[in-house]
A and B are shown apart, each in its own frame.
Chain A
């Protein structure tokens, strides 16, 4: 009964969505000269970042990113609150083989450097704070699953997280302090396509990278450790 109802509902929904999507323009420049045109035209000269997506995320729509960081922070907080047991447990029963252990030990620092590369070069190449943070967290995950007793101090992680988050907000407030608006770029823009360019963008992305990395690592560790 429930199945039939669901299929009926999905059929109706799908039919209408399909009807709408059929009218959608695909592959043609239908918004010219909309918002996108303005972004593409001005980004390099006005923000100094080469990657337009990054400059939108961090600069034009930087407020969204602040919210996004907060969402991830919330998820981490909520998870650790929900999984809170007051006691810690051992992670796994079975040891990994020597090959996996040696391999992850070798790969771990390289993955961390890769993550650092991704978030430092956020304004030049694809990627940025979130991606870099996720890569770093994956590096830690590699160690967690290979070594039973690999331990990362939650104290340090949470300190890093708090500091990085505050740095983001404080960088935003600096703009207000200098008589401009919140999150406004108050640093020199630099020469496009050099590492030191884009004003605040790389700094914010480094803060975001640290924050996301610490958050996701803490999250994985909590999930792996608690409950049976």
Chain B
């Protein structure tokens, strides 16, 4: 058990919790913010797995663009899950 795998396990726990939060949260904005966290942690994963190209793409698309699409959609529809 080296240090790196401890970090990976911690990140995995955070990732799964964030994913749970996406599903559970009643507030759609909070869910979208949580999905940004999922994307953030998966980006760190790609980085650790020696895939900087993918990490960069995930950073460019996951953190900014996808989140923003969701935010615009929520802005144009409604925020609460009925």
What is A's interface to B at a CB cutoff of 8 Å?
Answer: 51, 53-54, 118, 126-128, 130-131, 134-135, 137-138, 141, 216, 220, 223-224, 227-228
Residues of A with C-beta under 8 A to B64:
134, 138, 141
Q: What residue of chain B has the Cβ atom nearest to residue A133's Cβ?
A: B60
Q: Tell whether B24 is near chain A: CB-to-CB under 8 Å.
A: no
Known interface pairs A131-B57, A138-B60. Does A216 touch B65 (Cβ–Cβ under 8 Å)?
Answer: yes
Distance (Å) between the CB of A62 and the closest chain B CB?
16
Residues of A with C-beta under 8 A to B61:
130, 134
Residues of A with C-beta under 8 A to B60:
130-131, 134-135, 138
A54 to B54, CA, bound (A): 11
Check A126 against B72 for contact (C-beta < 8 Å): no
What is B's interface to A at a CB cutoff of 8 Å?
Answer: 51-53, 55-57, 60-61, 64-65, 68-69, 72-73, 76
Distance (Å) between the CB of A117 and the closest chain B CB?
12
A137 to B64, CA, bound (A): 10
Distance (Å) between the CB of B13 and the closest chain A CB?
18
Q: What residue of chain B has the Cβ atom nearest to residue A223's Cβ?
A: B72
Check B53 against A126 for contact (C-beta < 8 Å): yes
Most chain A CB within 10 A, of B53, B55, B57, B69, is at B53
Check B68 against A127 for contact (C-beta < 8 Å): no
Check B76 against A131 for contact (C-beta < 8 Å): no
Instruction: Identify 16 residue pairs between A and B in the complex whose beta-carbon atoms are under 8 Å apart, listed by A's number.
Output: A54-B53, A118-B56, A126-B52, A126-B56, A127-B53, A127-B57, A128-B53, A131-B56, A131-B60, A134-B61, A135-B60, A137-B65, A138-B60, A138-B65, A141-B64, A141-B68
Taking a contact as CB atoms closer than 8 A, the residue among A51, A127, A134 that contacts B65 in the complex is A134
Known interface pairs A126-B52, A227-B76. Does A220 touch B68 (Cβ–Cβ under 8 Å)?
Answer: yes
A135 to B52, CA, bound (A): 16
Distance (Å) between the CB of B48 and the closest chain A CB?
12
Known interface pairs A134-B64, A141-B68. Does A127 touch B56 (Cβ–Cβ under 8 Å)?
Answer: yes
